[in-house]
Each structure stands twice: as C-alpha cells, then as structure tokens.
Chain A
C-alpha cells in the first residue's frame, strides 16, 4: 500500500464503471451530490455555531415514587452533563430535591442508540387480517413513512369500527386525549395496580385512604412501625431522609418485611420478618397479645370505633361477630395466639409478642404501610387487620401518632399540596362506552358504565371473548379485533401473566403501539410509532411531594422522526375528518403558560392559596401566547430558570398536618365518612362492596384466610411441614434499576442493579446453589432465568425479584430470559380488582447454561448457553 499516485496511472479507475455510475446518479438510481448533508449559506454557518453552554432544567418524568430536579447542560443542542438540585442549601427542614441514580441516568435513555427513530411495520403484517400474526415479537421490520403508518392505523381502526364497533378495540392505557373517544370509544382495562387492596377497605372503614401526618411531625414520634416498605428503592427523593431525621429526633424504627431491605438496613432498630400475604395473621397474633394483656386503648376503641367487641357492634349485627371474640377464638375455637400466627407468618412467637408489646406501649406511635402487603390475593384482609390493630393502640389524630397507608411521593409525609400547578386547558373527551377508570381505581365504582375487563382478565377476555363486568355484575361477551397501545405502552410487560398476554397479542387482527424505545409491548406490535420524551418538548410539569413541583424545559429537538403523542392522536383523527382542535391542543407554549399562570402556593398563614407566578406583558409578548399579566411570588423567567418551586418548611409553621385531628377532638361534630361516622372494625359496607365485584366474599371484620398461591400452597402438607412442588413465595419488589418498566434498557443501571433473584442463603445452599449461579424460576404460569443472589437478609422460603424487567421470551422453550415478574405472576382476579403480585409460588432450579449479567448483553440480544 504505497506509491498510490504512481499506480493511479497504471491502474486507473475502470472508465466503464465510472461512466455507468455517473449515469446512475443522473437517472435517479443513486443519490446525486447531496444526500444526507445540505449546503448552508456561508453567513449562516458561523451563526448557527455554538453560542456557549447553558443549564436547562429538565424533567425526571417516571412514576418512581419520587420527583426530583434535573438540570441539563446544553451545548449546541447537545446535552453534555446533568446535575441535580443546587437551587438552595440542603437542610432537614428544607431539603434539596436531589435525583437518584435513575435521574442521573436519564440522558442514557433520551440519547440511547436504541431510541425508536422511525415508524416501522412488521414485515409479514397484512392489512385486514394481520398477516402472519404468530410472528409478532419475532418478525422482521421495515421502516415506513409517517403517512404510511398513520394511514394503515386509521384504516384498521375504520375497518374494525365499521364491522364490529368500539367494543372490538382494546385500548391499553389511561384515556386522556384519544381520537377514538369521538368515534364511539374503545374498551379499556382497570385495576388497582400499585395501591393494591387499600382503596375499598379504607373508604368503607374510615372514609378514605392515607391517614399519616406531615413529615415534620414524624420527629415527635417515639416509635415508627413500617409494614412492607423500602422507601430507599420505591419512594425516590427524600422520604428515606425524613425517616433518618425522625430517628435522630428519638423515634425507634421497626421494619416488618420478608426482606431485610436497604431502608431497614439504614434505618431500622429492629427487623421483623414476615412471609408474604400473611401480615394479616401476624397482626391478629399482635391483637391477641394486646387483648390478652389488656394493652389495647379501650377508651379510643369505645369512642371512635365500632365492632371491636360485642358491646360495640352496630345495630342489626350479630354481637358474636365482633373482632375481639374472633381473635380470642371464643366461637370458632381457634385463639389467634402468637403461636397460631407464627405457623402461618413465619415470625417467631417471641418476636410477635415483642412487637405487640412495643406497639401497644410506646406512644406516640406512627404506624404506616406501603401498599405492597395488600398486593395479594384477598389483600383486603391485610388492610382490615392493619387498620384495626393500629386503632387498638389509639394512635390517631395526635402529634407523633397516626395509622395509615403511605407510599410513593407521600411516604412518611401527608397533607394538602402546598404548591400546585394550574390547569393547562388541554382537551379531555371521555370515553363514551367506558366509565372513568379513576373512579374504580380510587375505590368508588359506579354502575353507570362498564369499566371493561380488570387487568387480570384482560388477556383472557381477548382469548376467550368474556369478562366479569362490574356494570352488569356478571359475565359479558367481548370480541376484541384490535389492540392499541398508542399513548401508553408498558401494559404487556406490566400486567400479570405475560405469556398469556403474548398469546392475546398474537390473536388480535391488528396491534399498534407508540413508544420511544422498543419495550415489550411495542415489540409485539404490527406498527410502532416513535414518540418524543419530555426533554424534547417545550415544557413538562411534574407533580411531586406536597412541598414542590417541577417545570422542566426543552433540552433537545425531537430526535429523528419522533413525534408528540398528541400529534399522533390529532393526525389519526384527521383521517376520520375530526377537527384537530377537538382532539388535543398542540400549542405547548400556551398549555404550559396556562398551567404556570394558574399555579398556586399556600399563603404563609396557611389560610388558603395565592398566585405563584408574576407574569408581565413582556413575558406574554415574548412567548406569543394568550394571557393577562399577573402578580405572584416569583417571576415567570426566574421560575423557568430554576425549574422548580419549593415551599420552605420549619417546625411550627402553618403547613403541618395531623390526620384525623378534628375527628379525634370531636367525633360527633366531625364524623368520618363511613356509614356510622366512626372507624368501622366491623364493616358490612366493605363486605357488600367486595361482593359487588363478583370474585370473592370478605367478612366484615379482619380475619385470616389462606389465599391462592399463599404460604400454605408452598407445602404438600402444611400441618406436617412438608414442602410441595412450588416451595417458595415470590415477592415482586420495586427495584432501583428502573421505574416500573421504564429505564430497564439503561446499561448503567443494569450494571448497578443486576435483576438478580434474591434468595435466603440456606435455602440456596440446600439446592446446591452458589452466589451468582444461573437459576430457572418457574411458577404455575411461566418461567424465567436469572442469576441468584444468596443472602441471609431474605426470609427462608421467600424469593424476591424486581418488577419491570423487560421480558425476553424464547418462543421455543417458553422461558423468559429477561426475568419479568409478570411471566411468573398468574392472573387471578380478586376482591376489588387487586393485582396479586405478591401471591405467587415458585420453584427454583439450577440452570445448566451460562447466564451473563445482563448489563453485558447487547440490548435485547441475550446470552449464549
């Protein structure tokens, strides 16, 4: 390879080839002079060049249980760095809203090479029939234009609507802007998902969910008992820190959980292990100890509750059905002693008594629970027992004392929002054939319309054409022809029984999806549409804990051909002749202006709200929006530059919150919203409500009943202690690698959190397993491969796996190499539409093949055996 110039004379370029090639360009076969690059004018070239770096606040938009500030350093349209909250000094009263590893990895997904860049269609898809439907999830793909993609989708929608009507389109998502709602609607699905079995028991027994005090009041507590919570992983932002401050202020902290989890390691004085779905039994054992030793707050029970004992039963109820006599076993002959409880829940009788004694005697006590222990079959029995035992201690409506569920952004912190954005003015058209999902999610269903199939039945509904309908109270026929995941796309991965979901997807005549990466749902679609992330639009507002909200700005132009979700709805609507403005407003500046102009903050005296933002006529002119100048606390530009507004707090300020304080002071004048106006330990309204759903009956007082895929079913002979085919209980934990299914493609996070199966060390060694070994985990519903992490921190008989990993199903073996928990979870509908993610029994076997840690996998190309 030298003397190339000399050789050029000898081996001159083949003239014939060269001439043919020149002809190709002029005949339009090949690209002419410009192809991918365009010529810009000499004057423009320097002008368009970098004008220095600027810091732009951007949103951290996932549903992770927290919200934090992110600020991106943008240079010449490129994000080169991300930082978090440094807008004010950090203090316990006025903490910074600093991001975790997920927020700090945000640009890994916004700018990941795996972003969806173009509309694509499955190669063997055919309009009308779906072509070779069985190839969904493994077909080849072809890039198509937006017009082609939208025309195809609109044509399929039209075909299905004309021939079968709106009951034949399944729209997986949560409504909002949806052109289908103007064309007759679509079938949707529902369930309580995160909040488990808390809504209905809370509503019927005490008038609503929640019930904990404000975070500053936690410092007045002497004992904090936490059920099923790991805020370090499931409540992003500051909740773990608030616990730490309460501990430093003198509270003893006890965690009750099958896993000595990272929050417990950092915070707990004691860890009380309990088996999944048996917390109700543990709580009954605690109640027995309190009653046996007469430690319950009888005055509180007599004044504020009904149904604790025979003397305080509501009119018309059988006095024998009271809680006290159930616990003592007066009529059923089974005293719910700590020994009785221990056999079920696995906690030692001694530890049950210790916990009970402390809960009854250390005051004030803050008793709180995440929703996780109720995400089980018959999860309502846990909620009943949790509230009842809490009330037995009398810790209600007092400083430092409370009983209630709290999780997500409200972990250890409840109360009205101190600052809140206004209404953007976006169009909202309800689905004409479906009731509002939020009603049933919140535990207040109505029979005016159907809600469609519950998540646990949605795949069966597609496959078998039937579902249990809340509206009619019976089975309803359904003929789904099309599944649309446009606008929201994680459902296939995030709903129980993923293998069945894949079958349902492969049955439909047409499946469409939109997303910014090819997650599990989009992978099984016929057509996928690329959408932008919130970093690629004018602005995005995120609600957060009560003290703050975030306003992120645009950091990047839309990547490649990615479009706004609402633009897609408008474009599809146009193909049916719908007025674009009736579907969605696409003017993001105006929407953002409305929301920010309407933002309010609490007044210093706590008496009400006032306008947050000052806006000048110049601001409005500069933005080019409709609006009027206004006075507020902070200027438009200052707020935009900061990206957040946080209300400073201090002990004794006017923004505190003691739950049920008014009720505690005067229960007659301030009754709670229940049928008796009191807390209802005996609650027939709850039993009636659960019966309405059609799957279970629930007694009006807390009782323990064995559940589907609970601990008892891990035994061949429970009494004799002989384990069965599926000897382990699976807990599906929130996992810091991602937020639900979001971020699972980020290699940084994969490396830090490896989606290992956590297992008790002795259990693992009994199976001949070593730390890091590949294992096959099988349930009655599916199987996954994972590497095992052996630890004494996991209770014997229990295994844990993080929810949200992207399934990677091998069609030949039926094994999911990605380790999605919904591959293992069965779809067993229960009570109020609870997804029983923590009632699932499994077996674990050593896997002969090698399974590389998944951060080393090429994305989506998995491993070698």
Chain B
C-alpha cells in the first residue's frame, strides 16, 4: 500500500503542479473551472486508453512508438503553453484591470481555455497511463489485496493534488501587478523543461543524436530524484545529467516562446500609442 502511495504521488506530482500553475494563470477567465475539469476528465479517459494500448503503441515505428508518442504529447503541450503565454501577453493587462471577469471577446477566451484544457489533459494522460499500468501490474502480482493497493494509490493521488492546490493558493497571493509576469515566467520555464524531456525521448528512440551524454554532471550537487531535484525537474526542467540535445531543445523553446510573447506585447503597446495619438 505504501509503495503504491509513493509511486502514484510521484506520478501525479508533475500534472498536479502544472494544473496548479495554469489554474492560477487563468484566474478570472469565465468558465475556467469547467474547462480545467474537462481537461482532467479527458486526460483520465485517455490514460485508460493509452494503458490498454501500451503494447500496440510500443510496437509502432519499429519499436520506438512509445518514444514518438511521448515526444508528440510533450511537443503539443509545449506549443499550447506557448500559445497561452502569447494570449496572456495581449489580454493579461485587461484581466489585471478587471480582476474578475474578462471583457475579452468570448471566442478568444474560449480558444485560450481550450488550449489550457488540452495542456491539462496531456499532462494527466502522460502520468496517468503509467499509473494505470503500475496499479494493474501491482494488483495482478502482489499478495496485497487490490483494495489496499487502490487505497494507497488514492492516498498518493490526494497528496499530489494537495501539493498542486498549495501551489495554486500560493500563486494567488502574488500581487496583481506582478501576477501575470510571474505565472507566465513559471509556465515558460516549465514548457522549456517539457521540450527538454521531448528531446530525451527522441534521443532514446534514436531519432536524434544525443550531442554529448551527458553534457555535464551535477548529480554530486543535486540528484534528479531527490525531493528538491524532482521539484526543480518539474518546474524548470532540471536534469543532473542532461544530454546536449536536451539543452538545445530547452533553449529553442525558451527563446521561441519568450520572443513571441515580447513581440505581441510590443505590437499591442504600439497599437495603443497609435490609437491615443488619433
């Protein structure tokens, strides 16, 4: 039971932190909760499907199907988070001004929230499918009763969700003046970390060279599986021994999302000034 609790906690951590941050970042958007729940529900349903299809996915692409699948899931999540940050760059001010309900046109808000729901669904899907497989294997093989294992899993999931909620409440305490900059920066680093994980899978499946394995080794300072290492891994993509290709993906995602965000902010600023002159 204890083993199940720890594993499910670890699996749920990444999704829980991401949901906590993105829920904070979309505060004040109409019907946000419904979209977040939709994302979580779709992710859970997808987890069952992916777990059931593990063998089929694994056999695709000459045995590298799982790597391609994970890389695709991560890649889409990076693009969606990037989209969210760009959207925030042009609507964040307006939201900060009104704080509660956004006056932004309904269609644009709906697009933004569906991107957010997709990010949530993909995060749940990735960790959820592994959790399902683990619980299945454990109930089939272990001499513990199935209900004890499931109870352990439920406890681990609750602990992960609680941590996500703490992060959410903590972020809401940030003064509005800095709020959107803070959540956008958090999501930017998180997305870059996901891009690095994407590179890891593409190297693992031999689609890309590693470009130095590892590029450096900080495991003597901080191991990736320590508590702090795990938190930093999820939040900013920390790896004690990253491959060169991971660093390259990290940098590309970081620069691409940051410059798109800055470009939109500058464009909107210029449009406002132009408007004021006339």
Q: Are these two chains actual partners, yes or no?
A: no
B residues apposed to A, CB below 8 Å: none
